[in-house]
Structure 1
Amino acid sequence: MLMQGKTVLITGCRRGMGRAMVEVFAANGANIYAHVRAEDDDFIADMQQIAAACQVDIWPLFFDMTDPAAMKLAVKRIMAEKRPLAAVINNAGITHNSLFQMTTEAQLRQQFEVNFFAVYLFSQFMVKLMLRNGEGSLINIASTAGEDGNPGKSAYGAAKAALIAMTKSIAAELGEHGIRANCIAPGITETEMLLTMPEQVVEAARQGADLRRAGLPSEIAETALFLASELSSYVTGQTIRVDGGLK
């Protein structure tokens, strides 16, 4: 098991890629802080079921990533529990589809608040914890839209591009302290986010990939596992595209 006995923190675990990450990491022996925005009995039961099946600990975390006060309370809890974090995966985010000239200021600001500013601030807290241990892997879930300039993705892509740039700077600043930082840039992936996109756009993206299909959440999760584990001990400052050969 690649993460036996190690502790990781994953944001945005209710469904899709985040939930798949919980399953994959738990199956590989990790104990997990599993974050979602709002407390939910069904989510708690789901995490308990995974924990029991894999014989690991999963501790639910509930806070809104855009609420600094709630974020600080969660961080205080993690600090008080004194469990060294081997990896932090910033998965929580939102998508937006709108042509450049149809994108409002409010929509643009929301993309940056959730997909960049919240991740930036939370990562500052998490890196402080990693520095105490002299090691750690920070993994940010970006998007191919942050590199490719897709039509209808100007706001979303810009926020994800900022996330990629931030990650490279973290890697450059903190590598000497044993902290690695990398991005995963998924292409089109079979999650609920696909429901926000026109079907013709989704199908075009599938056909535009060399593998002629969308990715699975588990495939993103397994890449995160690689970046969190010692298998990637000499990998930092990278953006790994998991996109099926998207052109």
Structure 2
Amino acid sequence: MLKNKNIVITGATGGIGRAIVNECAKNHANVWALLRKVDDDTKMWIEALKIQNNVEIKPVIIDFLDRESIREAASKIIEENIGIDGIVNNAGVVGNIELFSMTRMDDIKETFEINFFGPMEFTQRLLKRLMRQKKGSIVNISSIASLDGEPGQFAYVSSKAAINGATKKLSNELAPFNIRVNAIAPGMVDTNMLSNMTEELKKDMLNKLAIKRLAKPEEIGKLCTFLLSDNSEFITGQIIRIDGGR
């Protein structure tokens, strides 16, 4: 679906991020994999993917709490002078799980920097390239928590709700340039991010699902790949739930 396309993916080593990179590579896309550090495990994973799928996968270091790092990462990609066909804003943190009345404003601001402001600044820096090309697809990874609200997740829910609003606004603004913007709102996914949740909360959330299991990261990756592909060329401005029938 993505043969010869070049895709930028942030948060590339997290559970969902790695799955998105895997699915893009399987569909023959070249990938810029943005991550905070490159360790030996990451190097082995990237080299194996490149060989298995005959694609280019280039790691790029980025820290969304550091504006200079954001600028440098975007510049590195732009300076390659290669067309950018898609951007996946996947990087994010859950933050502390606590009630609003107990949440420090500094913690809320930090969560917004990583989940919203950093990714939006990064996207803005790449956007002129896509606008000149008059084509592209942007996929933002949101959460059903932003649509339903979750107890004790004020910073996370609010930051992902901001992503939803940005998705709606940008889809309208960028449609004349043939750039589509959508968001994926996963439910409970089997990744390390669930480690912050209590067992009681996990059990309560699973009981609310029609399909009584966690989502697999690759299921999010496959939906993301579809939205990046030409098979979804009439879909834009959507917040798509993938939650097992919550």
Q: Same fold (TM over 0.5)?
A: yes
Whether the aligned pair in 1 keeps the contact of 2:65 and 2:110 (CA below 8 Å) is no
Q: Deviations over 1:96-152 (max 9, x none)?
A: 211222111121111111111111111111222211211000000011111111111
Matched, 1:67 2:37: no
The Cα offsets for residues 192-221 of structure 1, whole Å up to 9 and x where unpaired, read as 011110011111111211101111100110
- Cα deviation per residue 1:138-189 (whole Å; 9 max; x = unaligned)? 0000111111111111111011001100111100111011111000000011
Residue equivalent to 1:184: 184
- Superposed displacement of residue 45, structure 1: 2.2
Distance 1:145 1:126 in 2: 28
Shift of 1:42: 2.6
Distance in 2 (CA, whole Å) between partners of 1:128 and 1:221 is 26
Partner of 1:37: 36
Match of 2:46 in 1: 47
- Matched-pair contact (CA < 8 Å) for 1:142–1:160: yes
Name the SS for the 2:3 alignment partner: coil
Q: Which moved more, 1:233-242 or 1:124-133?
A: 124-133
1:54 Cα deviation (Å)? 1.0
Please name the residue that 1:149 is paired with.
Answer: 149
Q: Secondary structure at the match of 1:202?
A: helix
Q: Residue 117 in 1 paired to residue 96 in 2?
A: no
Separation in 2 of the partners of 1:95 and 1:196? 8
Aligned twin of 2:17? 18
Aligned twin of 2:173? 173
Q: Is the contact between residue 38 and residue 64 of structure 1 (CA under 8 Å) also seen in structure 2?
A: no
Q: 1: distance between equivalents of 2:3 and 2:108?
A: 41
Read off the aligned partner of 1:44 and give its amino acid letter. Answer: K
Question: Is the 1:182–1:239 Cα contact (8 Å) retained in structure 2?
Answer: yes
8 Å contact kept, 1:168–1:238? yes
Counterpart position of 1:3 = 2
Task: Name the aligned partner's letter for residue 82 of structure 1.
Answer: N
Q: Which runs of 5+ in 1 are unaligned?
A: none
Of all paired residues, the percent bearing the same amino acid is 37
Shift of 1:14: 1.1
Alpha-carbon distance in 2 for matches of 1:234, 1:107: 38
Retained in 1: the 8 A contact 2:191–2:217? yes
Letter in 2 for 1:10: I
Q: Which runs of 5+ in 2 are unaligned?
A: none
Do residues 126 (structure 1) and 148 (structure 2) align? Answer: no
Whole-angstrom CA distance in 1 between matches of 2:213 and 2:102: 29
Amino acid paired to 1:238: Q
Q: What CA RMSD, in Å, does the superposition of the two structures yield over aligned residues?
A: 1.0
After the TM superposition, list the runs of 4 or more consecutive aligned residues in structure 1 that deviate by more than 3 angstroms: none
Q: Distance in 2 between matches of 1:59 and 1:156?
A: 29
**Bigger shift: residues 119-128 or 171-180:** 119-128
TM-score (norm 2): 0.97
